[in-house]
Amino acid sequence: MSSPSPKPLLATLKGARQLVPPIWLMRQAGRYLPEYRALREEKGGFLALAMESDAAAEITLQPIRRFGMDGAILFSDILIVPMALGQDLWFEIGEGPRLAPTITARDVLEGLRTNAGALEPVYGTVRKVATLLPPETSFLGFAGSPWTVATYMIAGQGSREQAEARRLAYRDPALMQALVDRIAECTIDYLLGQIAAGVEAVQLFDSWSGSLSPVQFEQWVIAPTARIVAALHARAPGVPVIGFPKGAGGKLPAYARETGVDAIGVDETVDPVWAHASLPANMPVQGNLDPLALIAGGATLDAAVDRILAAFAERPHVFNLGHGILPDTPIAHVEQLLARVRTEK
């Protein structure tokens, strides 16, 4: 076990096991925080916040100021990439994101033109945050993985069971491959841009990977992720890549072995004891508290935290949720979680 690091999260992602695991929470900058709600009321909708560098930087920093998290996660959205690829992006109040035109035929995809300038506000946010973070806090960038991003580009919105994308993958695999390739190319450039601007590690979110069969998982999750990771390792050596294939379940070990990611995020449906036994030895693992256990608080929360800490005690571990923090999460329960994790056992 290593001695305390000046940046414990970054050291853990590089393979050092800490006496007290570092912690950050997916969606830690968001609606459960009153300071976020106040800024959103002042500035307008989500997209307006994400694309205004000053506002997005402020939101990124809010949970660091309030809780002293070990990692700051860039405030943005995985659908910035489709916007950069030429789709119109907007958010319907109470219903979530919308994209147009939907990708249903090759001529639609070929008609889209990449607009790298759409990414500049995000890089501006990164540069601002990088100058303001405490020296012990690691800075995480992110992007959506190609399969998950493709599901939105095909359906034009979040979709039940990602049926539209899965149908297209079976009906026209060449079109799906062309779409996934376009997303992967843009994602590589996007993450390299974030790294150049100041992030120290990146996470690939594959939120809908759990909807795929094993063969499709290999084709649409593992293969493009491996391509992205290889490019990042070649062009930004030393920058850790976290893969988060939500819903992968029993396919997690294959993902960990075959994608080349430096660390793997585990969702709340995975038994941490099984994950520790099944994943490559000494690979850093991130997760995997159920966001609803965080809402429950009290003894339920303590017991869930203790089980995860015990399961991953013998490997590098970044404590996190199994998915994003929910808007109705009490602030006091986040404080309870931090106190529990940071108590040396």
Active-site residues, by number, are 27, 31, 40, 77, 152
Place of tokens 């995480």: 140
3-state helix, strand, coil split of the chain in percent (to 5) is 55, 15, 35
In angstroms, rounded to a whole number, what is the distance separating the alpha carbons of residues 215 and 262? 23
3-class state of residue 23 by DSSP: strand
Q: How far apart are alpha carbons 19 and 35 in whole angstroms?
A: 32
Tell me whether strands 263-266 and 138-144 are parallel, antiparallel or unpaired. unpaired
CA–CA gap between residue 78 and residue 292 (Å, rounded)? 23
- Taken in order 301, 304, 306, 309, is the CA torsion positive or negative? negative
Q: Which amino acid is at 120?
A: E
Maximum Cα–Cα distance for the chain, whole Å?
A: 59
DSSP state of 27: T
Element (H, E) at 207: none
Strand locations in the chain (E): 71-73, 88-92, 96-100, 138-144, 201-206, 241-245, 263-266, 285-289, 317-321
